[in-house]
Chains A and B, each alone.
Chain A
Amino acid sequence: MKRLIALVALALAAPVFAQEEQSTAPYAYRQLDDPAQETKAQDLMETLRCLQCQGQSIADSDAPIAGSMRSLVRERIKAGETPEQIRAWLIERYGDYVSYAPQLTGLTWPLFAVPGVLLLIAFLLLRRRFSAKGAGQ
């Protein structure tokens, strides 16, 4: 958590000019040469949260921290890591908050139970509504 605060503070302090961060984040505004790798990186970036902005993924943000994270994702993809490895690494550092794809844990299981419950309710509602009466008419 301390690390995160330091990072955010650092990012806030840096001016918003693209050229400044270019030296530390070479892939913030540059794509990977291999289109397959770039697609992989893009798909992953769309599911990672920009920690400094409100409700934007790092693929949708001009914030410096989003640029650094984009660069990090692309560099790691280029180095041959899989998207899920990178996600796991980021979650370890910044917590579950960084990933827009909730992981199945003791805390998030209700998220995955709800669709099932809704399906069940929908099924029961439709059944109650139609089964007995359909036969009666």
Chain B
Amino acid sequence: MIAELGLAALWLAAALAALQLVSGALGLTERGAVLGGAVRPVAVVQGGLALLAFACLIYVFSVTDLSVKLVALNSHSMKPLVFKIAGAWGNHEGSMLLWVTVMGLGGAFVALVEKRLPERTMLATLAGQAFVSLGFYAFLLFASNPFERLSPVPMEGNGLNPLLQDLGLAFHPPTLYLGYVGLSIAFSFAIGALVTREVGPAFAKAMRPWVLGAWIFLTVGITAGSYWAYYELGWGGWWFWDPVENASLMPWLAATALLHSCGVLAARNALRAWTIMLGVVAFSMSMIGTFLVRSGILTSVHAFAVDPQRGTFILALLAIYIGGALVLFGLRAATVTEGERFAFVSREGALVVNNVMLSAILGIVLFGTLYPLFAEAMGAKVSVGPPYFNPMSALFAVPMLVVLMVGPLLRWRRDKFGRVGRELVIPAMLIVAAGICVLVLGGVALLPWIGLALSVGLGWASLLPLKGRNLRRTPLPIWGMVVAHFGIAVALFGMSSESAFSVEKLVAVRMGEVTQVGPWGVKLDTVEPVAGPNWTAMEARLLVRYGIDGKVTRMLPQSRSFWAPPQQTSESALLTRWNGQLYAVLGGEAPKVDGEKQSRWQLRLWWKPFAPLIWIGGLLIALGGLLALVGRVAADVRRIVAKDKIAYRREKQGR
């Protein structure tokens, strides 16, 4: 019953999306203008219906209604409630429903609050949003219905992949989806502005909060995903340049570029066509990412060819939306002039460098991710991994980070290096000093060396925009910029330090034996069985001590066996200190060498100096975005309130 209700809500939402598209498009013409009034309410109701459908799906998952095929395939009655709920979006159909729900809610939110732009542009924007939604509704209803029933009803479900049964991962996909879909709003704004030819500062100011919001969610989502991979996979790696990771990184790169070009358009009315283009590219990257992850093409081109229905469907959607947007862009680009001009040494100039470099990194990641697929289609299998992505992206990232030190200090339109050169003496000296220090320590590869040296200088330089300002009166967006740029320095330092200074130790130890990893002494105390709601595990008690006279602390790594579905995972134990993280994993029991009575246990230990800074930096970047967003929105609200007050006073005086 509930499942059918969900399906009905989904059909209704799809119908309303069609109505929203038609009335929005007709609303732009003279004869259909009266229909324009319907667009906003329809958008709101459409969002509500999508939410209702999603709530129904969560309900059938939380009560484990096994007559629904999706539940039977992906859930199990013996599972903690939170993972039953998370199971609703941990699969293809559910995640696509989450996608349209977030998209519908985004459209509804825009329809409710966005009143700054001319109504014609808003109609075009909402029609564009409905057009995109409609494709995904069709995809859900025709090719991946989440509410399909199953008969006969199975006794028990298949369960959820144990690796996904983790709180971090339960909330990772929704966060990323909020980001992906937030970019769809930027896309719709770009389409709307192209249709009505109103590309200017007002458009950029209206679009910016949405881009910022999406970008914050993407940043948090990527950071959380990286930390999840770090502690859950049990080998201490935090970024693998895996296609699934790249799928989330590409929209982030595009959104970062869009954010900065939006700033130029809002402040200086320059880079108009470029900003529109980035708006289209950013959401295109979201869709390409979804296509890569959801079509099964990643496992193998052949897997895709065997069951091509879904993949072909998404591919068609990609062709329609990206192709359509590019055609529209091509038709209208000539009428959108580039806008105001500026010199190379200026704030705009630095931001253009940022944009070009980010786009180039995006190009590298996109090409490196797709190339193995082309190669496989041509009959050869190749792998593209860290040895390719690291140096190739550094090629563009390093110059970008150097410009990042200077850019925020420059004035708009035209400036001279001489004016800001003095301030940069200290960061430059810091870079040289850090470079020499690391060189003296020795044994550090080129890229981590560059990263360590740069991060120190960048950390200092990123704080310079605050110099000479009254900190209490500094606008929030400035604080946001400083915090985000500082976060980049922090994350860069963490990444470089992790890859330069990590110490690894793989050992088989007896009970009571002590082993050394970096500055730590680790003693295996006991290994005992423990049980959870849907798993059993061997749990080791490690007593660890930093240096010779440190306090003794306990760590409890587990080796878990899940039974639905049967799979082994290692739960790593992490101990964080201010200067790094100790990472412990319990492996299996080592084979007994003859004559040995006591068994030995495999331990994998890592000492990773300053590794937590990677994710702290990521969160700082997101926090910077949040500060900027709050600052911008508060300023908008103040302006609206002030306007209302003036209007009210005028009215009163007029009487």
Contacts and interface: CB of A to CB of B under 8 A. Distances in A.
Partners in one complex: yes
Interface of A: 16-19, 22-23, 29-31, 42, 46-47, 49, 54-57, 59-62, 95-102, 107-108, 110-111, 114-115, 118-119, 121-122, 125-126, 129-130, 133-134, 137
Contacts of A47: 385-387
Interface string B271-299: 00000000000000000000000000011
Interface stretch (B97-105, B206-214, B355-363): B355-363
A100 B384 contact: yes
Contact of B384 (A22, A30, A56, A111): A111
5 contacts: A115-B392, A121-B360, A126-B353, A130-B344, A134-B344
Given A30-B508, A62-B568, A111-B384, 5 more contacts: A16-B568, A30-B506, A98-B383, A99-B383, A126-B344
A93 to B, nearest CB: 13
Given A30-B508, A49-B385, A108 B590 contact: no
B623 to A, nearest CB: 30
B390 to A, nearest CB: 10
Contact of A18 (B235, B353, B357, B588): B588
B636 interface: no
B381 A29 contact: no
Interface in B437-473: none
Given A17-B588, A30-B508, A55-B244, A102 B383 contact: yes
A54 B298 contact: yes
Contacts of A137: 341, 343, 414
A29 B385 contact: no
Which of A23, A61, A134 has most B Cβ within 10 Å?
Answer: A134
B378 A107 contact: yes
A97 B341 contact: no
B349 A31 contact: no
A57 B385 contact: yes
Given A47-B387, A55-B240, A56-B240, A133 B341 contact: yes
B343 A100 contact: no
Contacts of B508: 29-30
Nearest to B375: A107
A97 B505 CA distance: 29
Task: For the complex of A and B, list the 3 residue pairs with the smallest distance between their C-beta atoms, beginning with the closest.
Answer: A100-B385, A18-B588, A101-B387
A30 B341 CA distance: 62
B590 A18 contact: yes
B444 to A, nearest CB: 12
A18 B298 contact: no
A107 B602 CA distance: 42
A133 B360 CA distance: 24
A114 B387 contact: no
B562 to A, nearest CB: 12
Given A100-B386, A122-B357, A62 B343 contact: no
Nearest to A16: B568
Given A29-B602, A62-B568, A107 B382 contact: yes
Nearest to B570: A62
Nearest to B385: A100
Interface residues of B, number: 53
Contacts of A56: 233, 240, 242
Interface in B337-383: 341, 343-344, 349, 352-353, 356-357, 360, 363-364, 367-368, 371, 375, 378, 380-383
Contacts of B590: 18-19, 22, 29
Nearest to B363: A118
Interface string B46-81: 000000000000000000000000000000000000
B527 to A, nearest CB: 14
A119 to B, nearest CB: 7
Contacts, number: 132
A57 to B, nearest CB: 7
A96 B349 CA distance: 42
Contacts of B242: 54-56
A56 B386 CA distance: 11
Given A54-B298, A100-B384, A111-B384, A119 B356 contact: no
Contact of A19 (B299, B343, B381, B591): B591
A121 B360 CA distance: 9
Given A30-B506, A111-B367, A118-B396, A97 B591 contact: no
Given A18-B602, A47-B387, A102-B388, A114 B367 contact: yes
Contacts of B367: 110-111, 114
Contacts of A54: 242, 298-299
A137 B413 CA distance: 11
Contact of B360 (A107, A122, A129): A122
B504 A31 contact: yes
A30 to B, nearest CB: 6
A98 B381 CA distance: 9
Contact of A46 (B352, B384, B386, B507): B386
A124 to B, nearest CB: 10
B383 A134 contact: no
Contacts of B380: 95-96, 107
Nearest to A133: B341
A31 to B, nearest CB: 5
A54 B233 CA distance: 12
Interface in B206-247: 233-235, 237, 240, 242-244
A129 B235 CA distance: 47
B598 to A, nearest CB: 15
A122 B356 contact: yes
Contacts of A97: 381-383
Contacts of B568: 16, 62
Nearest to B243: A55
Given A22-B590, A118-B364, A126 B356 contact: yes
Contacts of A126: 344, 352-353, 356
Contacts of B378: 107
A60 B505 contact: no
Contacts of A49: 383, 385
Contacts of A129: 352
A61 B240 CA distance: 12
A100 B233 contact: no
A134 B346 CA distance: 11
A118 B357 CA distance: 9
B281 to A, nearest CB: 15
Interface in B238-277: 240, 242-244
Interface in B405-426: 414
Contacts of B343: 130, 133-134, 137
A119 B361 CA distance: 10
Nearest to B499: A46
A56 to B, nearest CB: 7
A107 B299 CA distance: 20
